[in-house]
Amino acid sequence: MTSSTNGFALITGASAGIGAIYADRLAGRGFDLILVARNQTRLNALAERLTKETGRSIETIAADLNDKAALAKIETLLREDPRITMLVNNAGVGSVASVLDGHVDSMESMINLNITALTRLTYAVAPAFVAKGSGTIINISSVVGIAVELLNGVYSASKSYVLSFGHALQRDLAGKGVRVQTVLPAATATEFWDVAGYAKQKEAASTMTADDLVDAALAGLDQGELVTIPTLHDGDDWTKWEADRRALAPRFANAKAAPRYTSNATPAQ
């Protein structure tokens, strides 16, 4: 194995799909890796292949991030291991079920993984990165964080959270040497769709491969993007949407309600 000047990237949900492609690409860029997922057998196979192909140091941790003890173990590692220079918060689960068809316990589990685990891992690593004045946090959101009506409402809301959280992180960590990128994939051909109950989406003409998604996301990181949407061909569309959103903020600062909410307002027909 060769020594790395890039340090270690810790990737959650690393055993398959987008996480496994991030592992492949980051190893190819000279990062050593800490791969986190539930399936130890898959992790071992990926680590063996990448070690053979790249010569990088690959460590694996089998952990279910919905388990508080397992999550706490990864938090401790992120706080205390100075080798870690990048966190890729990729672990997540989705659904296509409506509020009338989904089970609330499954929705709670989704919130715990997509929101709580991502938040706790970020809170663990951010102070460590700030202390040394460098580090990169990549959070995987989704275009349904904006196009919220497309899939399950809890899933969409969880990905809206990741996008909003990323904006706040970029504000809080600005000037402290820590890069924060939020990636918004659209439909991507991974096992996500099998778990979500809509496997046929993987064959759709509009579905991107995980390889193309990660390559585009890393290109966006190289270009200094704060938010990367690989399938959005006209980047000006995002720039305008984001500028319009931010322009609303000062318009909320009014002590009195808008005239349409007064007793003289015309009632809806």
pLDDT-derived band of residue 2, with 50, 70 and 90 as boundaries? low
Q: In this structure, is residue 154 part of a structural domain?
A: yes
The domain that holds 188 is classified in CATH as: 3.40.50.720
| Cβ atoms 102, 52 nearer than 8 A | no
Tell me how many domains the chain contains.
1
Q: In this structure, is residue 222 part of a structural domain?
A: yes
Which structural domain, as residue segments, surrounds residue 247?
8-261
The predicted structure's pLDDT at residue 252: 96
Q: In this structure, is residue 134 part of a structural domain?
A: yes
Q: In this structure, is residue 26 part of a structural domain?
A: yes
Q: Look at residue 45 and tell me whether its pLDDT is greater than 90.
A: yes
Among 22, 123, 155, 261, which one carries the catalytic annotation?
Answer: 155
The predicted structure's pLDDT at residue 206: 81
Nearest partner of 140 among 214, 199, 219, judged by Cα: 214
Q: What is the mean pLDDT of the chain?
A: 93
Q: In this structure, is residue 135 part of a structural domain?
A: yes
CA dist., res. 85 & res. 87, Å (int): 7
DSSP-derived secondary structure for 219-265: HHHHTT-SEE-TT-S-HHHHHHHHHHHHHHGGGG--SS--GGGSTTS
User: In the predicted model, what is the mean pLDDT of residues 147-166?
Assistant: 95
The predicted structure's pLDDT at residue 109: 97
Q: In this structure, is residue 267 part of a structural domain?
A: no
Q: Could you give the C-alpha distances from 252 to 160, 240, 258, 263, in angstroms and in order?
A: 21, 19, 10, 21
| Cβ atoms 180, 173 nearer than 8 A | yes
The predicted structure's pLDDT at residue 269: 67
| Cβ atoms 126, 139 nearer than 8 A | no
Q: In this structure, is residue 2 part of a structural domain?
A: no
The amino acid at 71: L
Is 155 one of the catalytic residues? yes
Q: In this structure, is residue 142 part of a structural domain?
A: yes
Give this prediction's pTM: 0.93
